[in-house]
Amino acid sequence: MFSGKSAKIGFRVYNWGMGTRDFDVKKLLNDKRFWFASFLIGWAAALQGHMMWLQRQDSFKQKFGTLDDQKSEDRQVSTEDL
């Protein structure tokens, strides 16, 4: 299949108006901007997921209350019975 030479890993990308150019994956993986952008996108997605989880927790607390609220309601009911 290959004649002992290393194969170039890459893609041919068509650039509108400028013809075709080679896209080298090795250069992309060595680029610090690529890793910074990947980290930033991952961090933003994690932050969004965390904020959605917090919102779900708050809506659950509004719907069902917390154990502390239930204990304080029980205390109020017991003092009103006296």
pLDDT, mean of residues 64-72: 78
Pairing of strands 10-15, 19-24: antiparallel
Question: Residues with Cβ < 8 Å from 8, sequence gap 6 or more?
Answer: 24
pLDDT given at position 8: 57
pLDDT given at position 16: 60
pLDDT given at position 51: 98
Supply the DSSP string of 22-37, one letter for each residue.
EEEHHHHHH-HHHHHH
* Euclidean distance between CA atoms 54 and 24, whole angstroms: 41
For the segment 7-36, what is each residue's pLDDT rounded down to a tens digit?
556 666 555 655 556 678 888 889 999 999
State the distance between the two ends of the chain, measured CA to CA, in whole angstroms: 92
pLDDT given at position 1: 46
Question: Residues with Cβ < 8 Å from 33, sequence gap 6 or more?
Answer: none
